[in-house]
Amino acid sequence: MKTTPHTPARVMIVEDSLVVRQLLAHIITRDPRLILAAAVSSAEEALREIGRVQPDVISMDIRLPGMDGLEATRRIMSEHPTPIVVIAGSIEDSALKISMNALRAGALSVVEKPVGVTNAGYESLAETICTQLYIMSRVPVVRQRSLAWRGPAQQAGASLRDDAVATQPTLLTIAASTGGPPALAKVLGALPADFPLPILLVQHMGAPFMEGFASWLDGILPLDVAVAREQEIPTRGRVYVAPGDRHLLLSPAGTLQISASAPLASQRPSATLMFSSVARSVGPRGLGVILTGMGEDGAQGLLEMRQAGAYTIAEDESTAVVYGMPAAALRMGGVRASLPLDLIAPRITRLVKDSRP
């Protein structure tokens, strides 16, 4: 049954711990946006039951007896494409790598596993879990999302000749939300190891996961990746990831600023604030990229970058897992080129190369 804005989402829980399974069931059943369709203790049981249950979204544990959550995600996305939210019980390296690879395999987001109703922050975490499950239940998924581009005539603002910059770029900024980790891995992984610009990155993700996310990217990219630190001077070929629950900005002096100021449109880090700071600080010497994601974060900031003379790129609808943030940026006029994911890194590389003296 297809969900509508007024239809509660049917949730399947995949969790081997009886205590956590019951806790998740309690959290889900008290939320009017959700219906508990099934709760199973293994990936094998989930695969057996998914055709009968037909959930709208799956809450997936990573560490399971037998088949783990990563392989389960691969199998589900291949055989029964269904939105998956990873519920991660640990932020230590091995579990985080599995969680990040599950995102690369098709899971849409990762949230913390609840410990107990008496723990500090329980209500906030329960709300986050329910909201993520509900939002992700609305995301259309396919077995293998096509990365084939549709030709210049079918791409808004994606003329292959639209690749000239008047001023040499000195900084690349990139932002993503839902579906972002694999998209970022694809774009940044296709840049050359000697890429000559610093890169500032905003990814919407729970604060406890940001160190692990940066470590995961660092392990799979040719570029160095680290969580950004206050007053760092950005250096060429290095990726600076916005810390968890903090804004990442570029100061007028060219150093990094980590800000605890209020969230913008419920987002901290905010892509708009990052893009806006870059527009003010480097103007036409910036490159801005906005990838897949829910909502409109980054759209206003990308517009400010373009108005300041920067070259701006949005991921095309043909490859975006969620065409929210790129669509908003395009609608507002902040996008110079709209490109399928596979063409973004080549365009960036060409822009930087062609602008070198």
Residue in this structure with the two tokens 């701006």, named with its chain if needed: 312
Within 8 A by CB and 6+ apart from 258, the residues are 228, 229, 230, 243, 246, 247, 248, 249
Q: How many other C-beta atoms can be found within 10 angstroms of the C-beta atom of residue 258? A: 17
Helix (H) / strand (E) element for 109: namely strand 109-112
How does strand 247-250 pair with strand 256-259?
A: antiparallel
DSSP 142: -
Q: How many helices (H) and strands (E) does the chain have?
A: 11, 14
> Would residue 26 show up in a list of annotated catalytic residues for this protein?
no
Phi and psi, residue 248, nearest 5°: -110, 120
How does strand 171-176 pair with strand 199-203?
A: parallel
Catalytic residue among 277, 297, 316, 318: 297
Length of the chain, please?
357
Q: What is the largest CA-CA distance in the chain?
A: 63
> Would residue 204 show up in a list of annotated catalytic residues for this protein?
yes
Q: Is 49 exposed, middle or buried (0-12, 13-18, 19+ CB in 10 A)?
A: middle
Between CA 319 and CA 267 the distance in angstroms is 24
Catalytic residue among 177, 259, 270, 276: 177
Catalytic residues: 177, 204, 297
